[in-house]
Structure 1
Amino acid sequence: AENIEEAIAAYKQALEVYTNSAFAQYHATTLSNLGRLYQDENQFDLAYDTFVAAIETVEALRGEIVSGEEAKRKQAEEWNQLYRRMVEVCLALAKDTEAIEYIERSKTRNLVELLIKAASASQENLSSIVNSIRFTEIQNLLDNETAIIQWYIFTDCFRAFIITHNKLIIWQSKQQDLENLENWINNYLQLYGSDKPKWRSQLSDLLIQLTKILHLNQITSLVPSHCHKLILIPHRHLHLLSFHAIPLSANDSSTPEYLFDKFPGGVSYAPSCQLLRFTQFKAKKLNDSQLNQQSHLFAIQNPTNDLDFTDIEVETIAANFQPHQILKHHQATKTALTAQPTNQNLANSQWLHFSCHGYFNFSLPLKSGLQLADAVISKIPAYSNSSRYLRVDDEKIIDLDKCLTLEDIFQFDLNNCRLVCLSACETGFIDFNNDSDEYIGLASGFIRAGAANIISSLWAVSDFHTALLMIKFYELLPNYQYNMPLALNHTQQWLRQANQTQIIYWLQGLDKMELVKKQQIIDYLDKQYKPEQQPFKKPEFWAAFCAISPVLGNRPLA
Structure 2
Amino acid sequence: MNDIPLAERHCQSTLAELEQLDSPLLQYQANFLMGEIARAGAKTQEAYQSYRRAREAIEHVRGNLRGEELKIAFFQNKLEVYENLVDLCLRSSDRFEEAFGYIEQAKSRALMDLLSQSVHVPSAADPGQSELVRSIRNFREELNWYYNLIEREQLRPEDHSQERIKQLEQQARAREADLMRALKEATVAEAHQAGMQVASKVSLEEIRSAMPADTALVEYFRIQDRTIACVLTRDRLNMVPVTVHSRIQKLLQLLQLQISKFRLNPQYLTTFSQPLLLSTEAHLKNLYQELILPIRQLLVTEHLVFVPHGLLHYVPFHALHDGTSYLVDRHSISYAPSASVYAVCQAKEANASGGSLILGVPDAQAPSIRTEVEALSRILPDAKLFMGEAATEDVLRTHGRSSRLVHIATHGYFRQDNPMFSSIRLGGSHLSLYDISHLQLPAELIVLSGCATGLNVVTPGDELMGLVRGLLQAGAQSLILSLWDVHDESTKEFMIGLYTHLQKGSSKAQAMRTTMLELRERYRHPYHWAPFSLIGKG
Give me the TM-score of the superposition, normalised by structure 1. 0.77
Instruction: Pick one of 301, 314, 319 that aligns with 2:378.
Output: 319
Secondary structure, in 3 states, of the residue corresponding to 2:366? coil
Corresponding residue number in structure 2 for 1:219: 295
State how far apart, in whole Å, the 2-side matches of 1:180 and 1:242 are. Answer: 17
Spell out the pairing of 1:138-153 with structure 2 (5 A cutoff). 138-153=207-222
- With 465-474 and 113-122 compared, the bigger mean Cα shift is at 113-122
Q: Does 1:356 align with 2:410?
A: yes
> Which deviations, in whole Å up to 9, do the C-alpha atoms of 1:407-437 show, x marking residues without a partner?
111101122x1100110111111113x2221
Corresponding residue number in structure 2 for 1:542: 529
Deviation at 1:222, TM superposition (A): 2.0
Corresponding residue number in structure 2 for 1:494: 518
Deviation at 1:372, TM superposition (A): 2.4
Q: Does 1:32 align with 2:32?
A: yes
Spell out the pairing of 1:224-243 with structure 2 (5 A cutoff). 225=300, 227-243=301-317
State how far apart, in whole Å, the 1-side matches of 2:342 and 2:195 are. Answer: 13
Corresponding residue number in structure 2 for 1:84: 83
Change (3 A) 1:20 1:423: farther
Corresponding residue number in structure 1 for 2:242: 173
Instruction: Pick one of 509, 513, 536 that aligns with 1:485.
Output: 509
State how far apart, in whole Å, the 1-side matches of 2:240 and 2:318 are. Answer: 19
Deviation at 1:483, TM superposition (A): 1.1
Spell out the pairing of 1:126-525 with structure 2 (5 A cutoff). 127=196, 129-173=198-242, 177-189=244-256, 196-197=263-264, 201=276, 202-214=279-291, 216-223=292-299, 225=300, 227-248=301-322, 250=323, 256-263=324-331, 266-282=332-348, 285-286=349-350, 291-292=351-352, 294-302=353-361, 304=363, 306-332=365-391, 336-338=392-394, 343-374=397-428, 402-415=429-442, 417-432=443-458, 434-479=459-504, 481-497=505-521
Change (3 A) 1:462 1:61: same
Q: Which has the larger radius of gyration?
A: 2
Change (3 A) 1:193 1:7: farther
CA contact (8 A) 1:20 1:27 kept: no
Change (3 A) 1:13 1:130: same
Corresponding residue number in structure 2 for 1:513: none
Change (3 A) 1:185 1:104: same
Change (3 A) 1:321 1:196: closer
State how far apart, in whole Å, the 1-side matches of 2:105 and 2:263 are. Answer: 37
Deviation at 1:82, TM superposition (A): 1.6
Change (3 A) 1:297 1:143: closer
Change (3 A) 1:128 1:164: farther
Secondary structure, in 3 states, of the residue corresponding to 1:230? strand
Secondary structure, in 3 states, of the residue corresponding to 1:371? strand
Counterpart of 1:108 in structure 2: which amino acid? Answer: S
CA contact (8 A) 2:451 2:482 kept: yes
> Which deviations, in whole Å up to 9, do the C-alpha atoms of 1:75-127 show, x marking residues without a partner?
11121222111211221244111111111111111111112223288895365
State how far apart, in whole Å, the 2-side matches of 1:425 and 1:301 are. Answer: 14
Deviation at 1:181, TM superposition (A): 1.4
Spell out the pairing of 1:5-24 with structure 2 (5 A cutoff). 5-19=5-19, 21-24=21-24
> Which deviations, in whole Å up to 9, do the C-alpha atoms of 1:466-508 show, x marking residues without a partner?
00000011001133x34111101100011102xxxxxxxxxxx
Spell out the pairing of 1:68-79 with structure 2 (5 A cutoff). 68-79=67-78
> Which deviations, in whole Å up to 9, do the C-alpha atoms of 1:429-453 show, x marking residues without a partner?
1113x22211222112111111111
Deviation at 1:20, TM superposition (A): 7.8
Secondary structure, in 3 states, of the residue corresponding to 1:319? helix
State how far apart, in whole Å, the 1-side matches of 2:20 and 2:325 are. Answer: 55
- With 453-462 and 119-128 compared, the bigger mean Cα shift is at 119-128
Counterpart of 1:269 in structure 2: which amino acid? Answer: Y
Change (3 A) 1:143 1:303: closer
Change (3 A) 1:411 1:492: same
Deviation at 1:268, TM superposition (A): 0.8
State how far apart, in whole Å, the 2-side matches of 1:9 and 1:190 are. Answer: 53
Deviation at 1:299, TM superposition (A): 1.8
RMSD of aligned alpha carbons = 2.5
Counterpart of 2:52 in structure 1: which amino acid? Answer: V
CA contact (8 A) 1:149 1:163 kept: yes
CA contact (8 A) 2:456 2:465 kept: yes
Secondary structure, in 3 states, of the residue corresponding to 1:165? coil
Secondary structure, in 3 states, of the residue corresponding to 1:65? coil
State how far apart, in whole Å, the 2-side matches of 1:127 and 1:408 are. Answer: 24
State how far apart, in whole Å, the 1-side matches of 2:467 and 2:499 are. Answer: 21
State how far apart, in whole Å, the 2-side matches of 1:485 and 1:108 are. Answer: 23
CA contact (8 A) 2:502 2:508 kept: yes
Give me the TM-score of the superposition, normalised by structure 2. 0.79
Gaps of 5+ in 1: 251-255, 375-401, 498-533, 552-558
Change (3 A) 1:93 1:220: closer
State how far apart, in whole Å, the 2-side matches of 1:76 and 1:64 are. Answer: 13
State how far apart, in whole Å, the 2-side matches of 1:241 and 1:20 are. Answer: 49
Counterpart of 1:270 in structure 2: which amino acid? Answer: A
- With 1-10 and 233-242 compared, the bigger mean Cα shift is at 1-10
CA contact (8 A) 1:418 1:452 kept: yes
State how far apart, in whole Å, the 2-side matches of 1:188 and 1:547 are. Answer: 20
Counterpart of 2:516 in structure 1: which amino acid? Answer: Q
Aligned pairs, how many? 458
CA contact (8 A) 1:485 1:546 kept: no
- With 85-94 and 47-56 compared, the bigger mean Cα shift is at 85-94
